[in-house]
Amino acid sequence: MCRLARHRYDLSSPERGGIWIIQGAFRHRTGFLPGAVRIRVARARGVLEAAALFRVTDVDERWQLELVAVRDEADDSAIDAALRCAVRDAGAAGARRLFARMPAGEQHERALRRSGFVPYMDEHVMRFSEKHCGVPDDSVGVRRVHPADEWGVHQLYLEVVPRQVQYAEAMTSRAWDDLQPLRRGMRRASGWVVEEHGRIRGFARVSTRESGQVARLDVLAPPELRSMVRHLVVTAVREAGTLDGVRCLAVIPGYAQELIPILEEVGFTDEGLQTAFVCYTTVPSRTHVVAVDLWRHAEAPMEPASVPGLGAANARGATRGDWFHGSGPNPVTGAVDE
């Protein structure tokens, strides 16, 4: 697999070398090392023709395409076989979505589309230049995220992000929990917010969870309050600068292109444009429903018939007139009811 021509699709992820592939294969076979990697290969006449490596992330175990290795660039059938096998196996394992990022003009885009992947968003990847590491200290009004801010950040996400992107990403409020200050050698995500009149109006997250070599910066802010984005970015970049040897990359969605000039003022440069793809698996949904017949009346259990007597009548709380109803003489008075 290491001898095949490798293609890194996601510009926000680091270069994947042979050592990473070997570690991923070892995780796939044994599961001893941390991290979930899924590898699907295509063989022809006993020869490895193509391989697709996926990383399983988040609570719903979504599959993220990390790398594709192929022997013959013109052999589309081998790539299609590896991708379709991954889509089928992901659905069988319970995953509902597979994701892939591909730079603009990549020749394997048609292979993704043939395997069921559809584009839902463009992303601008920007890299922070080391020569601008001395960012000014003007982060006024910015504070670190508290655990109680989780739902407020999610409300901001629902307000800023377009509906079709929300459906593709399927984010929940759990995407913003467990935010802690960054530490060297630890996979963490740190968050910063700007609050206005009790509402969270801006959010920035810098994360090393995806890779220990890259600190990824994501920003959420409504269009009318873009002026405060600079304060968020400056604070997040300053924290990422404490990690030696870690690159800082910002991923700006296509619907937030007005953030690009602000990041360029801070010191970010354009790394490239890529397209985000999603593939929905055909996972049958099961719901546990209790069927209740509202038109059926409950029936009381039948009591065994017995001859009325004084003891039985008194036990039921009956009166003397209840002992006997109908024609015939009363067993006590001898009177006949008409």
Task: Report the CATH number at residue 234.
Answer: 3.40.630.30
Query: What contacts 115, CB < 8 A, 6 or more positions away?
Result: 80, 83, 84, 87, 279
DSSP 3-state assignment of 214? Answer: strand
Question: DSSP string covering 26-86, please?
Answer: HHHHH--SSS-EEEEEEEETTEEEEEEEEEEETTTTEEEEEEEEES-TT-HHHHHHHHHHH
Q: Do the domain assignments include residue 90? A: yes
In this structure, are 109 and 149 located in the same domain?
A: no
What gap in Å lies between CA 13 and CA 261, rounded to an integer?
23
In this structure, are 164 and 111 located in the same domain?
A: no
What gap in Å lies between CA 58 and CA 96, rounded to an integer?
12
Cβ atoms of 182 and 242 closer than 8 Å: yes
Q: Do the domain assignments include residue 334? A: no
pLDDT at 297: 53
- What global pTM score does this model have? 0.74
Looking at the structure of the chain, the number of domains it has is: 2
What gap in Å lies between CA 38 and CA 90, rounded to an integer?
9
Q: Do the domain assignments include residue 262? A: yes
Structure tokens at 194: 């700007």
State how far the alpha carbon of 314 is from the alpha carbons of 33, 309, 311, 323, in Å.
Answer: 79, 8, 5, 10
pLDDT at 203: 94
In this structure, are 211 and 170 located in the same domain?
A: yes
pLDDT at 69: 82
Which of these, 65, 103, 102, lies nearest to 272 by C-alpha position? 103
In this structure, are 13 and 38 located in the same domain?
A: yes
Cβ atoms of 266 and 230 closer than 8 Å: yes
In this structure, are 195 and 258 located in the same domain?
A: yes
In this structure, are 40 and 71 located in the same domain?
A: yes
> Which residue matches tokens 């038109």?
295
Which of these, 170, 165, 68, lies nearest to 120 by C-alpha position? 165
Q: Do the domain assignments include residue 290? A: no
What is the domain range of residue 230? 130-266
Cβ atoms of 65 and 79 closer than 8 Å: no
Where does a domain end: 254, 283, 312? 283
In this structure, are 86 and 142 located in the same domain?
A: no
What gap in Å lies between CA 176 and CA 172, rounded to an integer?
8
In this structure, are 24 and 56 located in the same domain?
A: yes
Q: Do the domain assignments include residue 325? A: no
Where does a domain end: 218, 234, 266? 266
Amino acid in the structure at residue 47: V
What gap in Å lies between CA 219 and CA 24, rounded to an integer?
30
Cβ atoms of 115 and 87 closer than 8 Å: yes
Which of these, 218, 275, 222, 247, lies nearest to 10 by C-alpha position? 275
Q: Do the domain assignments include residue 84? A: yes
In this structure, are 13 and 76 located in the same domain?
A: yes
pLDDT at 243: 82
Cβ atoms of 183 and 138 closer than 8 Å: no
In this structure, are 115 and 144 located in the same domain?
A: no
CA dihedral for 14, 18, 20, 24, sign (positive or negative): positive
Structure tokens at 151: 């739902």
Where does a domain end: 202, 234, 266? 266
Q: Do the domain assignments include residue 305? A: no
In this structure, are 135 and 104 located in the same domain?
A: no
In this structure, are 109 and 156 located in the same domain?
A: no
Q: Do the domain assignments include residue 29? A: yes
Structure tokens at 92: 């069988």
Could you tell me the mean pLDDT of each successive run of 10 residues in the chain, 338 residues long?
56 60 56 66 86 80 85 83 92 90 81 92 90 54 89 94 94 84 84 89 89 88 83 90 85 93 91 93 56 53 56 48 50 52
pLDDT at 74: 76
